Amino acid sequence: MSIFEYNGSAVVAMVGKNCFAIASDRRLGVQLQTIATDFQRVFKIHDKLYIGLSGLATDAQTLYQRLVFRHKLYQLREERDMKPQTFASLVSALLYEKRFGPYFCQPVIAGLGEDNEPFICTMDCIGAKELAKDFVVSGTASESLYGACESMYKPNMEPEELFETISQALLSSVDRDCLSGWGGYVLLVTPTEVQERVLKGRMD
């Protein structure tokens, strides 16, 4: 039993036309028992930058707290928000610091950068960054998510269509994974607004 499969998780982010969407499942389990069905895995760093953390839940929460701390310090010093690319490098550095005793998390970072250009990336638990132009996935349902996203994604989707696509991909994928599910949480970010929606899927 892998430590990455202890809690169960599914996180996905997709790029659309001048917007992005980041989504996660809502289950928190301890191996086969479900503990919570409203667990938050996607966190806000600032208005145009979000991070989803899959893997061990305690490490996800601790890592989030450390990242928020670092970002607040950055805001005080620089008097501005961090760019998504910079934040991604920060996360990568923080993870690699623990190279021989890592955080058991796989982050998915999504944000709007300069000129509201969407940015997504993922990394492994020791900070190897992987930039993508289309979508990134992580968690116990990652293989299913790869298949579903690869089939359903097309470039330059408008926000409504992007929301529909990411929701269908997430729900279909977690339905084939016993450790993730119990609904979904989708955040759609455009330059002018942020929409949060909770999806109802198979509650098992």
Partner 1 sequence: MSRRGDWVYENNGGTCVAVAGADYCVVAADTRLSVGYSILTRDHSKICELADKCVLASSGFQGDIKALHKNLAARELLYQHQHNKRMSCPAMAQLLSNTLYYKRFFPYYAFNVLGGLDSEGKGCVFTYDAVGSYERTGYSAQGTGSSLIMPVLDNQLKSPSPLLLPARDAVTPLSELEAVDLVKDVFASATERDIYTGDKLEIVVINKAGTKREYIDLRKD
Contacts of 146 (CB under 8 A, 6+ apart): 137
Least Cβ distance, residue 121 to partner 1 (angstroms):
17
Is residue 166 part of the contact set for partner 1 (CB under 8 A)? no
Task: Retrieve residue 169's tokens.
Answer: 């991909």
Question: Given candidates 168, 178, 195, 201, which one binds partner 1 under the rule CB under 8 A?
Answer: 168
Rule CB under 8 A: which of 124-143 touch partner 1?
143
Amino acid identity at 196: E
Least Cβ distance, residue 158 to partner 1 (angstroms):
21
Stretch touching partner 1 by CB under 8 A, among 24-32, 44-52, 114-122, 171-179: 171-179
Q: Are 43 and 64 in contact (CB under 8 A)?
A: yes
Is residue 176 part of the contact set for partner 1 (CB under 8 A)? yes
Q: Are strands 49-55 and 105-112 parallel, antiparallel or unpaired?
A: antiparallel
C-alpha distances in Å from residue 27, one per residue of 58, 101, 184: 14, 26, 9
Least Cβ distance, residue 60 to partner 1 (angstroms):
23
Cβ of 132: how many Cβ atoms within 10 Å? 15
Q: Are strands 33-36 and 28-30 parallel, antiparallel or unpaired?
A: antiparallel
Residue 173 or residue 190: which is nearer to partner 1 going by CB? 173
| Contact string (CB under 8 A) for partner 1, positions 13-52, x = contact | ----------------------------------------
Binding site for partner 1 (CB under 8 A): 143-148, 150-152, 168-169, 172-173, 175-176
